[in-house]
Amino acid sequence: MSIAPKERDLELERIALVIRKLQERIADIEPSVGSLRDQVVDIRTHFWDDVTVNFSTEDDAVETYLSMKQQADLLSERERTHRHLSNQLKRMKRLVPSPYFGRIDFKEAGLPTEKVYIGVASFLEDDGETFLIYDWRTPIASLYYDYPPGPAEYDTPGGLVQGTMELKRQFVIRDGSLRFIFDTGVTIGDDLLQQVLSQGSDSQMKTIVATIQKEQNRIIRNDRSRMLIVQGAAGSGKTSAALQRVAYLLYKYRETLKADQMVLFSPNPMFNSYVSTVLPELGEENMQQTTFQEYLEHRLSRLFQLEDPFEQIEYLLTAEEEPGYVGRVSGIQYKASSAFLQVILNYKASLEREGMLFRNLRFRGRVLISKDRMKEQFYSYDSSIRLANRVILLQEWLRSELVALEAVERQADWVREEMDYLDTEQYQKAYNRARKRLKEQDPTFNDSVHEEEVLRKMIVQEQFKPLRIRIKQLRFVDAPALYGQLFERRELFEELAGPGGVPEHWDDVCSQTLERLSRKALAYEDATPYLYLQELVEGFRTNRIVRHVVIDEAQDFSAFQYEFIKRLFPRSRLTVLGDFNQAIFAHATSLVEDTPVARLFGEEETETIVLTRSYRSTLEIVEFTKAMLPGMQSIEPFQRTGGKPVVLIASSAEARIHRIVQDVQALQAEGMNSVAIICKTAAESQAAYEALMERLELRLITKDTATFERGIHVIPAYLAKGVEFDAVLLYDASDKTYRRENERKLFYTACTRAMHRLRLYAVGELSPFVRVVDPGLFVKEEIGRSIYA
């Protein structure tokens, strides 16, 4: 809705006024920030100059302490003020080019109407009370996202405030000048959203604070439930909502919650780079970002050669013809399931009674403490003591055994031989060193002991060091064998799994798992169950600092991974966001209904929000992609139009390459900055890259790519998860490449990465996933016949 010229002039005046005030305030505080910084540097440099250090008498010591404290207090006070002012300065500088994006006029009964201007940070008049701009996260600003003009209410710490919204206005202000202004009747005017969504993509994700939608706002401001689950269609703003949510929580709980107490689990390292600018743009520090694989590697890579999820998916996509394939797929699915989780829990319960496995403690080729002795000792402890605590008791016992064995060992012949290797000088040196060390360790050490004894003690102590480390790290527990036992002893597994609990192809699953374990390799599907079992036995390591965990692409997490994250972060709330339609891994979990995720904290503490509106792609692309998924009518496109997707049937591979080059050049000429040529696998990506590299400037994305940039990318579909491009070219949409049912979601995921343009290429027959789409929803073209046929 356009607004009257007079109103517009008033708004222009106000924008100029607010910018002037911001600039004045900046000019005012900038010198203070500089001077404070100098003061902090000065105090740090000359900290000791003003402190009189004297410990001669007790009084002097007290005085010294007090003068140090005074100096330290002064320093921390200056640092605090500096931090506070410089943050304020940064906020104001960010506001100058675009001070606000929304205005609402809100009237509470009995009070005058308040004009509320909303921006990315608050800015107050000199009186310190009147808001010239409200931060988008303030309680009153939620009205802007939740209501159209009319009756409206918002929550405050003091209770619900009710009233009437008399006006809702939106602005686009760039570089200090007003570009657009609309009055709107709907919640957030589609005009502004249209405008935002039709822009080209950037190399980085953008903030959406000016156009947050009502249902997204529910996600952002939800702070009641322990577990928030968001199931949302492709492009419905799950990642966006999650990031604005983090910014919201950091603002609301700024006294107690810091950015490093929040963790985001991303699907891959490149995604981390893609989202890393959103929070800084909102004036917040970035939360910690990681991948689950990174955690597994941190814990397991010392012991095993670990497979990562991308190697696993490559296997699934390419090894169909290999022997053992069906068994492996069955294993992947089973090992991610709640049924296997239950088996592991039952296993732990049975280990409380029997079956623990230990490793011999060996020294110089012989067994010093045998695994059988350890087992006997272990089961001699009271059975009511928790398994992990019994492991600690055993650890203590082993330590004390080792002390006794060390004393015996000192008299062994090999110790004499070691000493004989030393010449007089080395001997004397070694003796002096040993004496000094032993004295440090034990002040009551008797100096007059024979020097040979001293040396013997030293030598044995040195050689026992690796044993002590083994004991400290609980390596006497044979975790690989404990895990392997499940696949080795069928009767044990049957007992733990209960009647009918043995999954399909179990023999294959067992032989494959054991074969991998024998060469110290751990498949991706085994890593988390293995670690989970190990932690059940040895005790869970926990992180009590983290208060909030966000899991994106949550459909790709297994029941085990959820259970694990819950244990790892016992003081944390969880936000999980995903889309079961994009579940490309064989172990994927549905998020809603009775699933492991939904059960994790129980109904009471779990809230689920479903997003059905898709914002990323044009209407035509959404209509086309949703037709690939039978029964997916619930996905609603946002009314932004562009060209229909184009399906190109090439007469030869060469004709396809030729056309892709032409199309990419045309798309770039049209202003599409980010273009992806999406392939199915790493091998196909490599081949496409090689075929195109001479003619286009390309970037090949692999699982190790850590940054997301503009330009033309060649990328396997599973790495394109979560990110988006102006234009997507699907390199091979033929039925040779996408045919099996388990490839449907991968195909869908690849196509839904497109914002404005989607083109699919095939040499030969089209994939059945395109053949099911109503031909009216795309343009079909045959290429290359005249030149290459």
Ligand X SMILES: Nc1ncnc2c1ncn2[C@@H]1O[C@H](COP(=O)(O)OP(=O)(O)OP(=O)(O)O)[C@@H](O)[C@H]1O
Stretch of 236-244, 283-291, 474-482, 565-573 lying at the interface with ligand X (CB under 6 A): 236-244
CA distance 474 to 535: 11
Instruction: Establish if 674 lies at the interface with ligand X (CB under 6 A).
Output: no
Residue 232 annotated in ligand binding: yes
Q: Which of residues 706-745 bind ligand X (CB under 6 A)?
A: 722, 724
CA distance linking residue 771 with residue 651, whole number of Å: 18
Instruction: Report the DSSP pairing between strands 711-716 and 698-700.
Output: parallel
Q: Nearest Cα to 474, choosing from 405, 392, 529, 533?
A: 392
Q: Is 687 annotated as a binding residue?
A: no
H/E run at residue 754:
strand 754-763
Other beta carbons within 10 Å of 507: 11
| Total site size for ligand X, rule CB under 6 A | 24
Q: Is 484 an interacting residue with respect to ligand X (CB under 6 A)?
A: no
Question: CA 677 to CA 378: how far, in whole Å?
Answer: 58
Lookup: tokens for 217: 């706002």
Shortest reach from residue 582's CB to ligand X, in Å: 6
Applying CB under 6 A, which of residues 102, 119, 163, 235 lies at the interface with ligand X?
235
> Which of the stretches 15-23, 208-216, 419-427, 668-676 binds ligand X when contact is defined by CB under 6 A?
208-216
**In this structure, are residues 770 and 717 in contact, taking their beta carbons and an 8 Å threshold?**
no
380 marked as binding residue: no
Q: How far is the CB of 65 from ligand X (least distance, A)?
A: 54
When binding is defined by CB under 6 A, the residue of 92, 133, 208, 247 that contacts ligand X is: 208
Is 237 annotated among the ligand-binding residues? Answer: yes
Nearer to ligand X, 216 or 513 (CB): 216
Q: In the complex with ligand X, which residue's Cβ is closer, 561 or 618?
A: 618
Distance, CA of 225 to CA of 314 (rounded, Å): 37
| β partners of residue 168 | 104
Identify the residue among 238, 328, 548, 759 touching ligand X (CB under 6 A): 238
Task: Report, in Å, the least distance between residue 215 CB and ligand X.
Answer: 10
Report the residue number, 312 or 582, with the smaller CB distance to ligand X: 582
Q: Toward ligand X, which CB reaches closer, 196 or 393? A: 196
From 139-147, 233-241, 486-494, 515-523, span contacting ligand X (CB under 6 A): 233-241
One character per residue 578-597, x = contact with ligand X (rule: CB under 6 A): -x--x---------------
Beta bridge partners of 411: none
Q: Closest separation between CB of residue 548 and ligand X, Å?
A: 18
Distance CA 192, CA 31 (A): 38
Residues within window 209-228 making contact with ligand X, judged by CB under 6 A: 211-213, 216
238 is in an annotated binding site: yes
Residue 193 touches ligand X, criterion: CB under 6 A: yes
Which 607-646 residues touch ligand X, going by CB under 6 A?
Answer: 615-616
Q: How far is the CB of 611 from ligand X (least distance, A)?
A: 7
Q: Which residues pair with 362 in a beta bridge?
A: 367
What's the token pair of residue 294?
């990174």
Calpha distance 69→75 (Å, rounded): 10
Instruction: Classify residue 460 as left (phi > 0), alpha (psi -120 to 50) or beta.
Output: alpha
- Shortest separation between residue 743's beta carbon and ligand X, angstroms: 18
Closest by CA position to 202, among listed 700, 720, 674? 674
272 counts as binding ligand X under rule CB under 6 A: no
Q: Would you give the binding string for ligand X spanning residues 752-781, x where CB under 6 A is met?
A: x-----------------------------
**Per CB under 6 A, 236 contacts ligand X:** yes
Reading the block at residue 535, the tokens are 């932690």
Q: How far is the CB of 121 from ligand X (least distance, A)?
A: 19
Say if residues 578 and 716 touch (Cβ distance below 8 Å).
no
- Nearest-approach distance from CB 633 to ligand X, in angstroms: 18
Of 184, 195, 239, 674, the one binding ligand X by CB under 6 A? 239
Residue 99 burial (CB < 10 Å; 0-12/13-18/19+)? buried
**Cβ contact 348:536 at 8 Å:** yes
Question: Rounded distance, CA 103 to CA 704, Å?
Answer: 45
Identify which range of 231-239, 266-274, 366-374, 768-776 contacts ligand X by CB under 6 A: 231-239
Residue whose pair of structure tokens reads 């003091």 in the numeric block:
158
Closer to ligand X by CB, 206 or 362: give it. Answer: 206
Stretch that binds ligand X, among 237-245, 388-396, 656-664, 675-683 (CB under 6 A): 237-245
Query: Distance (Å, rounded) from C-alpha 396 to C-alpha 474?
Result: 11
- Shortest approach of ligand X to residue 152 CB, angstroms? 19
Chain centre distance of CA 10: 46
Among 163, 237, 529, 716, binds ligand X (CB under 6 A): 237
Name the residue nearer to ligand X (CB basis): 132 or 550: 550
Structure tokens at 371: 């695994």
Radius of gyration of the chain (CA): 33
- Cβ partners under 8 Å of residue 291, min gap 6: 265, 266, 267, 268, 269, 272
Nearest residue (CB) to ligand X, 513 versus 575: 575
Q: What is the DSSP letter of 4?
A: -
Q: Six-digit token pair at 636?
A: 């609603």
Least distance (Å) from ligand X to the CB of residue 621? 12
Which window, 67-75, 163-171, 205-213, 427-435, contacts ligand X (CB under 6 A)?
205-213
Q: Is 239 annotated as a binding residue?
A: yes
Feature table: binding site for ATP: 232-239
Binding residues: 232-239
Chain contacts with ligand X (rule: CB under 6 A): 193, 196-197, 206, 208, 211-213, 216, 232, 234-240, 579, 582, 615-616, 722, 724, 752
